[in-house]
């Protein structure tokens, strides 16, 4: 304000009139649309946006169960106006405040100070906003979140820019004399440009960042609940495999006693691909229905690769052509999924040729980018939706309408998708890509939890046995345990010297299914991401330090400092902290939040609010359990339990605290849970007068599915 009055006096002094190019502050229209969720409307928002594309309904009742909060303090400083035909939003930042999110980033957790253009695309080795899920949502360490409900490419200055009228201005430094001069002065706001004459945004309250994310997820329809088999092991076969080879692959897994729940077919199942016919190649697959049936008898489901681009040689082409975009992708027509006719024609084909014969799901490829492959931004669509908006939402639309097919059959699906966005959280799809940096995969997994998406750090190939094992371990602690052997035909046992350890962790994945399944149920009913950042964990707050590591002015002319953030460990479910090893590491540091943590394998105390160093000599992936951790496990089955199949439970308990755990149960395959056909069983562990621990589990609810057989207890922490 000092500056303004100063300016004014100068103006008076010189008698100069100054243009005011900035339109006045736009009116912000606030509406509470759910417990702790406010919709704010600016100008004339566009009708087509991320939420309308997904069509999901907020889980108002679930939100209602959360802590009641007041309107966030952030409200006061929010500024909006319309300038140059675009909507400008500004959200104030406090000193020390951290912000996370802005979609599926692969190299950074902390977003404060970064500049992003949110744009659906293949991740290209830089976190610049181009990613598979450029979700315009950020979470603050101060306990609020902001979601911009726009399907446009958004320019985000996430606390990078400095306004002359800032009330918290950075100090002026002289580079000639000040050794601490920084090329990045302090910024006190997130600023966003939306290329539209108005926008809706949403503010989510906490109190903590985890509650913010939960509210965001519940408002977006709640997380997906995969079928139990979706959490089992999956193998994608080489792209030109035929039916016999696919059966052999399933048999090989059985012979090796290696878990397997579904096999994925790659382009060769289609009569033509790139562009696609969506029709079976009858030389390689003379009887697909029979194949599905035979695999089913082996306990293995079938998933199909496809992209949505319709070959002019496909039987549906003449019908769908009028409802496709102006530009083709690999000469295939792009269905305008906002035209009901296009959806009917495309998805009727999916239903008849695939789903009716028992296909369990899809891998939907190439709905992200890159620019060289996808329709250009100059393309037009019959529905009138712009190419840009179509790009931002195509992945969500494909998820939505393909999921509907399975819903109609009352049979859950779990598939793979290359692109998603806000509104996609309830669709049972996991994002994957072509990059293959193990480190980036883990950072991606961490970031997925901020943005309402799932991500698989898939395994494809490996230069060494060590790498193979390390990658397999992380994939077993992720939303989908997948080997993607489309190009390499690699098997889990392809590296003999680590084959036993690989099988061990794959079986551990199966044993942990009751835990994973319950955690996904919490994603669905409570909005808690099953895989998420440490930064969402109470007791974990680390200053985002930077360090000047390169003082060579020719290499680093602006003396940029490098962030030293923690981006290689994450939370898996309510209790587990996973800290994977990467190839070549013989030891690593693990940051344990405040509170006691215990080794998952031994139950031994590991630390409390400290940084520990762990050696890789035992070969396991380091996993730590929060004090009071209850991990329900089942026997190491090779396939997920079928609907109605009872399995015995081993309930592990770690630490010293009295504890409670909610164990979820339903049929594991159908959508009957939507009609209340599920139960939560409460597991409690309490310290008795004699110092010993005692566990109990509540009785099965009458008339609800009950898949639990005998229950046994393991009190893992011996040195209580």
The residues in 627-666 that bind a copy of itself, with binding defined as CB under 8 A, are: none
By CB under 8 A, name the one of 29, 289, 290, 331 that touches a copy of itself.
331
| Least separation in angstroms between CB 177 and a copy of itself | 8
Instruction: Give the position of tokens 């736009």.
Output: 26
Q: Of 256 and 326, which CB lies nearer to a copy of itself in the complex structure?
A: 326
- Measured CA to CA in angstroms, residue 284 lies from 203, 244, 312, 338, 458 at distances of 52, 8, 22, 34, 26
274: its two tokens: 């790139």
By CB under 8 A, name the one of 32, 356, 371, 610 that touches a copy of itself.
371
Window 170-199: contact mask with a copy of itself (x via CB under 8 A): xxxxxxxx---x-xxx-----xxx-x----
Region of residue 619 (left: phi > 0; alpha: psi -120 to 50; beta: else): left
Instruction: Give the position of tokens 């008076």.
Output: 12
628: its two tokens: 């009071």
Strand partners, 86: 83
Alpha carbons 356 and 347: distance in angstroms, whole number: 12
**∠ CA(419), CA(104), CA(303), 5° rounding?**
40
Alpha carbons 101 and 109: distance in angstroms, whole number: 7
Does residue 382 interact with a copy of itself by CB under 8 A? yes
Q: Of 59 and 188, which CB lies nearer to a copy of itself in the complex structure?
A: 188
By CB under 8 A, name the one of 49, 142, 235, 324 that touches a copy of itself.
324
Per DSSP bridges, beta strands 623-626 and 596-599 are antiparallel
Residues 6+ apart with CB under 8 A from 592: 577, 606, 607, 608, 609, 610, 611, 612, 624
Question: Which 472-531 residues touch a copy of itself, going by CB under 8 A?
Answer: 486-488
Where does residue 575 rank: exposed (0-12), middle (13-18), buried (19+ CB within 10 A)? buried
CA 161 to chain centre: 28
Q: How many residues bind a copy of itself (CB under 8 A)?
A: 101
Question: Which 340-359 residues touch a copy of itself, going by CB under 8 A?
Answer: 341
Alpha carbons 350 and 330: distance in angstroms, whole number: 20
The span of 273-281, 627-635, 690-698, 712-720 binding a copy of itself (CB under 8 A) equals: 273-281
350: its two tokens: 């999916």
Q: Of 18 and 76, which CB lies nearer to a copy of itself in the complex structure?
A: 18
Q: Of 57 and 175, which CB lies nearer to a copy of itself in the complex structure?
A: 175
Question: Which 4-23 residues touch a copy of itself, going by CB under 8 A?
Answer: 6-7, 10-11, 14, 16, 18-22
| Least separation in angstroms between CB 399 and a copy of itself | 22
Question: Which 68-87 residues touch a copy of itself, going by CB under 8 A?
Answer: 83-85
Cis peptide before 275 (omega within 30 of 0): yes
By CB under 8 A, name the one of 205, 386, 456, 679 that touches a copy of itself.
386
Q: Are 333 and 310 in contact (CB under 8 A)?
A: yes
Question: Which 93-132 residues touch a copy of itself, going by CB under 8 A?
Answer: 113, 115
Window 531-560: contact mask with a copy of itself (x via CB under 8 A): ---------------------xxx--xx--
By CB under 8 A, name the one of 77, 207, 208, 312 that touches a copy of itself.
312
| Least separation in angstroms between CB 326 and a copy of itself | 6
Does residue 267 interact with a copy of itself by CB under 8 A? yes
CB atoms within 10 A of CB 40: 20
Does residue 372 interact with a copy of itself by CB under 8 A? yes
Question: Which 417-476 residues touch a copy of itself, going by CB under 8 A?
Answer: 434, 436, 460-461
Q: Is 184 in a helix, a strand, or coil?
A: coil
């Amino acid at each position: 304000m000092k500056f303004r009055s100063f300016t004014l006096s100068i103006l008076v002094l010189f008698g100069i009139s100054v243009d005011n190019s900035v339109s006045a502050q736009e009116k912000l229209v606030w509406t509470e649309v759910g417990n702790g969720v406010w919709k704010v409307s600016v100008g004339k928002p566009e009708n087509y946006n991320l939420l309308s594309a997904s069509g999901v309904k907020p889980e108002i009742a679930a939100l209602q169960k959360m802590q009641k909060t007041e309107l966030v303090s952030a409200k006061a400083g929010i500024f909006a106006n319309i300038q140059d035909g675009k909507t400008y939003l500004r959200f104030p930042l406090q000193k020390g405040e951290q912000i996370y999110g802005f979609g599926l980033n692969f190299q950074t957790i902390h977003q404060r100070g970064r500049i992003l253009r949110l744009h659906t695309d293949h991740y290209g080795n830089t976190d610049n906003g181009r990613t598979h899920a450029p979700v315009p949502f950020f979470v603050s360490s101060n306990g609020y979140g902001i979601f911009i409900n726009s399907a446009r490419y958004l320019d985000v200055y996430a606390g990078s820019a400095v306004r002359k009228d800032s009330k918290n201005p950075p100090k002026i430094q002289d580079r000639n004399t000040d050794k601490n001069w920084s090329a990045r002065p302090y910024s006190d706001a997130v600023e966003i440009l939306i290329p539209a004459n108005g926008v809706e945004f949403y503010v989510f309250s906490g109190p903590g960042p985890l509650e913010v994310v939960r509210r965001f997820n519940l408002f977006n329809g709640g997380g997906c609940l995969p079928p139990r088999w979706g959490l089992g092991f999956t193998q994608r076969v080489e792209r030109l495999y035929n039916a016999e080879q696919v059966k052999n692959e399933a048999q090989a897994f059985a012979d090796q006693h290696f878990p397997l729940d579904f096999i994925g077919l790659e382009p060769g199942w289609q009569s033509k691909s790139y562009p696609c016919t969506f029709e079976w190649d009858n030389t390689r697959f003379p009887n697909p229905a029979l194949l599905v049936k035979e695999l089913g008898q082996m306990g293995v489901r079938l998933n199909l690769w496809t992209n949505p681009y319709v070959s002019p040689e496909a039987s549906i082409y003449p019908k769908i052509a009028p409802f496709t975009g102006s530009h083709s992708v690999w000469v295939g027509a792009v269905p305008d999924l906002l035209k009901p006719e296009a959806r009917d024609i495309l998805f009727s084909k999916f239903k008849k040729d695939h789903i009716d014969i028992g296909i369990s799901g899809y891998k939907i490829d190439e709905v992200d980018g890159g620019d060289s492959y996808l329709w250009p931004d100059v393309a037009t669509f019959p529905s009138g939706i712009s190419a840009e908006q179509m790009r931002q939402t195509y992945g969500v639309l494909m998820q939505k309408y393909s999921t509907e097919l399975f819903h109609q059959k009352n049979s859950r699906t779990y598939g793979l998708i290359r692109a998603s966005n806000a509104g996609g959280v309830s669709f049972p799809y996991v994002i994957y890509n072509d990059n293959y940096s193990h480190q980036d995969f883990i950072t991606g997994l961490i970031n997925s939890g901020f943005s309402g998406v799932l991500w698989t750090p898939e395994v494809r190939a490996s230069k060494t046995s060590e790498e193979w094992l390390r990658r397999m371990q992380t994939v077993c602690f992720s939303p989908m345990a997948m080997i993607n052997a489309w190009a390499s035909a690699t098997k889990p046992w392809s590296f003999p010297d680590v084959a036993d350890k690989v099988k061990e962790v794959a079986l551990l994945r199966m044993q942990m299914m009751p835990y994973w399944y319950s955690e996904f149920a919490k994603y669905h009913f409570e909005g808690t991401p099953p895989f998420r950042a440490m930064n969402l964990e109470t007791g974990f707050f680390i200053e985002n330090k930077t360090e000047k590591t390169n003082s060579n002015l020719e290499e680093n002319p602006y003396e940029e400092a490098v962030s030293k953030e923690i981006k290689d460990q994450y939370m898996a479910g309510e209790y587990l902290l996973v800290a994977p090893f990467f190839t070549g590491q013989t030891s690593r540091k693990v940051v344990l939040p405040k509170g006691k943590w215990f080794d998952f394998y031994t139950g031994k105390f590991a630390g409390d609010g400290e940084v520990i160093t762990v050696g890789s000599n035992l070969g396991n992936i380091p996993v730590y359990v929060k004090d009071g951790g209850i991990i329900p496990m089942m026997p190491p089955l090779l396939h997920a339990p079928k609907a109605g199949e009872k399995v015995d439970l081993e309930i592990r308990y770690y630490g010293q605290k009295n504890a409670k755990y909610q164990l979820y149960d339903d049929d594991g395959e159908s959508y009957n849970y939507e009609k209340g056909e599920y139960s939560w069983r409460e597991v409690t562990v309490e310290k008795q007068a004699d110092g010993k621990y005692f566990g109990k589990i509540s009785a099965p609810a009458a008339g609800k599915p009950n898949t639990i057989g005998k229950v046994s207890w393991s009190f893992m922490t011996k040195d209580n």
